[in-house]
Structure 1
């Protein structure tokens, strides 16, 4: 790469000089925060952005000032909605250059989706698993898939024996961690399956940003999370800072557009770079090895197919 970006880089800095005219990009969660900024930044460079959102009225308000964005309805907590949205895109038949799975929920009370799945795993992983795999035939050679994960994956690996917390105590951040590990493993296996077609996939951690994602989280939980991030580190790293929304969306567009495909394929990225494996304590930096385990990724794919009743 001729440019070096980092934690404070913004979407506009990452995309400076990039021409995306003629490109078609699909972004989920385009009703607030990172999704809106991702759509704005890509559309500003000429891309035609298809923005998926559960609440279309909210998405229209959020993207009212953004030119080049087309909205579609998608409720990731419903497999019927995921399939219907994908079918509409398949019927339209237009090719996709980039898919960014941005939408998600975080640390919500124990609930289930329309299909009976634990809400965080069902929405963050299974909804995207069905939707992205269903639109994959539209992805051209050279296209990319970016899966938004989180350093929260460091809290918990996936539990393929009890994904719905039927036999284990439900804890909001453990459930979130499992779903974010699933987001990474999905990208790892998607990359393996599609790279012979020239399609690459990566997972990204946007950083910690104050957005609607944390609407279910108590102030006490947020303060505890910050303390965990801000724990002293032997490498002398600077104290924890929230990212702005343009900084948070930067790694998504970096992995989707600016980085070299072979550099990010099958990897986990943070701060506009590929992260190193770090199995040490804490949340601050790096990816746990279990989240990049190719056999774990294959097992999750098989379990996901079993759960949604569909093979890809």
Structure 2
């Protein structure tokens, strides 16, 4: 049952009546916002949540409510993960594999948005390196822990509409840097990664999907001034049909699509697809319309090419 959920549905509504006792779920980015809420609702329904965060002290403080609301055997374990450092990513993955405990769901939630130009510890453009390559290495290294029937949920964004991936110049070595173009590339990569991961693993019962949580005011927007943020909202509204103006979601509404796609929706419905507002998005073209998914983000050949490029960039084959 997928239920009749939509843009205003909350995590508690989506998981009403669902028992996750005995389930083990990895959520990255549990030091703020959507990651904390995702971990909270999963633990409250009995799941054992492994929460990954770069700053463990911050994450411990931010997740007090997760531990307080855990029920039916649910709980939270924190692990250190800096997605902008492949050394950290590999150390985290290796420790999880060494522990040998399988996962039912992996929610790749952590990310950055519209950052000034910079590079990760390994020399990758910050947004592509953090949002895509960090998760690419982490998920592939722990793929053996994902048991049949498990699911990968990649948090993408409607911002994927700003740009397809650039496989010729992923680090902006030869093209002028633009914050939202870089963000768009990384969010398109999140979708393409899900498409190819799903193709590679569905025969053994492991599926992958990508989701857009909606517009939520969290720490993700820390690099955007109020003026830039309002300008973005105005540009979105200028291109929406009547009655479809942009409105902010609450954090529980924003995290709802992640848990819907990971727990509630049928695997064949969401596998290799892009979801928004607790449903599978339709293909829509153009930068101006915020809703829907662009066809280039679901292109299976593009997904294979990105996979190969990502392997070359990180120096590892999966």
- TM-score, normalising length from structure 1? 0.98
* Residue 257, structure 1, aligned to residue 263, structure 2: yes
* Residue 166, structure 1, aligned to residue 176, structure 2: no
- Judge which range, 268-277 or 59-68, deviates more: 59-68
Residues 201 and 2 of structure 1, relative CA distance in 2, 3 Å threshold: closer
Number of the residue aligned with 1:36? 36
* Residue 279, structure 1, aligned to residue 285, structure 2: yes
Match for residue 300 of structure 1 among 284, 301, 306: 306
Once the two structures are TM-superposed, the CA of residue 281 in structure 1 deviates from its matched residue by 4.0
Unaligned runs of 5+ in 2: 68-74
Number of the residue aligned with 1:100? 107
Number of the residue aligned with 1:199? 206
**Could you say what secondary structure the match of 2:65 adopts?**
coil
Superposition pairs of residues 236-247 of structure 1, within 5 angstroms: 236-247=242-253
Number of the residue aligned with 1:15? 15
| Structure 2 CA distance for aligned equivalents of residues 275 and 140 of structure 1 | 27
Once the two structures are TM-superposed, the CA of residue 212 in structure 1 deviates from its matched residue by 0.1
| Structure 1 ranges of 4+ moved more than 4 A | none
Q: What CA RMSD, in Å, does the superposition of the two structures yield over aligned residues?
A: 0.9
Unaligned runs of 5+ in 1: none
Superposition pairs of residues 18-167 of structure 1, within 5 angstroms: 18-67=18-67, 68-167=75-174
Counting matched residue pairs gives: 311
1:228/1:283 contact within 8 Å kept: no
Match for residue 272 of structure 2 among 266, 273, 284: 266
2:239/2:289 contact within 8 Å kept: no
Number of the residue aligned with 2:216? 209
**Could you say what secondary structure the match of 2:142 adopts?**
helix
* Residue 179, structure 1, aligned to residue 189, structure 2: no
| Structure 2 CA distance for aligned equivalents of residues 281 and 34 of structure 1 | 25
- TM-score, normalising length from structure 2? 0.96
